[in-house]
Amino acid sequence: MAGKPTKNVAKKKAAKQPPKAAKKATAKQVAARAAQPRKTAPPKLLSGGNPQIAKADGDAPVQAYIAAMPGWKHDVGRRLDALIVATVPAVRKAVRWNTPFYGIEGQGWFLAYHCFTKYVKLTFFRGASLQPVPPGKSKVGETRYFHIHEADQPGGEPLTSWIRQASELPGDPCF
């Protein structure tokens, strides 16, 4: 009886294999799950409440960054973005190093902002050339900063003027 399996062995093999109907149901379930939109976790907040957003070009990653800005900073980000777009309609946007960047195609980046615990830091890459010069000094020669705190209302002069002036200068291409 070496060539023919016993009935018990055949039953055990049959029990190990799932029925064909179960395979189809599993395949249907997998297809249904794949068709559903994926739920994405909100971006992780880094130190100071800065959202962690993947490097990407365009408006969508900048809007994702703004949406993830915590508390009062969200309103500041929304206002800054609207002010920049209104002042420089041809602006190019991107996120680099968890920071929204704004520039002009072929000229480089002229401005970025970043969340810190008590303020949002606006960076003008050629800020030393702006009139009046933004108050925050940098270790990088031409760069100047402007801090927006919770009680501040971003907009108006000189911010609009700085944005316009910065967009007219050669930007920083290295980002």
pLDDT of residue 46: 78
Structure letter (DSSP) for residue 36:
S
pLDDT of residue 26: 72
pLDDT of residue 16: 62
Please report, for the domain that includes residue 101, its CATH number: 3.90.1150.200
Q: Are 103 and 91 in contact (CB under 8 A)?
A: yes
pLDDT of residue 162: 97
Residues with Cβ < 8 Å from 154, sequence gap 6 or more? 76, 79, 80, 83, 148
pLDDT of residue 94: 97
Whether the per-residue pLDDT at 124 is higher than 70: the answer is yes
Q: Is 143 contained in some domain?
A: yes
Decide: helix, strand or coil at residue 148: strand
Q: Is 75 contained in some domain?
A: yes
Q: Is 2 contained in some domain?
A: no
Whole-number Å distance between alpha carbons of 17 and 12: 9
Whole-number Å distance between alpha carbons of 112 and 52: 15
More confident residue, 35 or 49: 49
Residue range 2-44, pLDDT digits in tens? 566 566 655 665 556 555 555 556 776 666 666 666 555 677 8
Whole-number Å distance between alpha carbons of 1 and 73: 81
Residue range 134-148, pLDDT digits in tens? 999 999 889 999 999
Q: Is 127 contained in some domain?
A: yes
Q: Is 30 contained in some domain?
A: no
pLDDT of residue 157: 82
Q: Are 82 and 160 in contact (CB under 8 A)?
A: no
Q: What is the number of domains present in the chain?
A: 1
More confident residue, 130 or 174: 130
Q: Is 52 contained in some domain?
A: yes
Whole-number Å distance between alpha carbons of 57 and 138: 26
Whole-number Å distance between alpha carbons of 116 and 166: 23
Q: Is 131 contained in some domain?
A: yes
Q: Is 71 contained in some domain?
A: yes
Whether the per-residue pLDDT at 131 is higher than 80: the answer is yes
Residue range 57-112, pLDDT digits in tens? 999 999 999 999 999 999 999 999 999 999 999 999 999 999 999 999 999 999 99
Task: Give yes or no for a cis peptide into 132 (omega within 30° of 0).
Answer: yes
The whole domain housing 58 covers 47-168
pLDDT of residue 122: 97
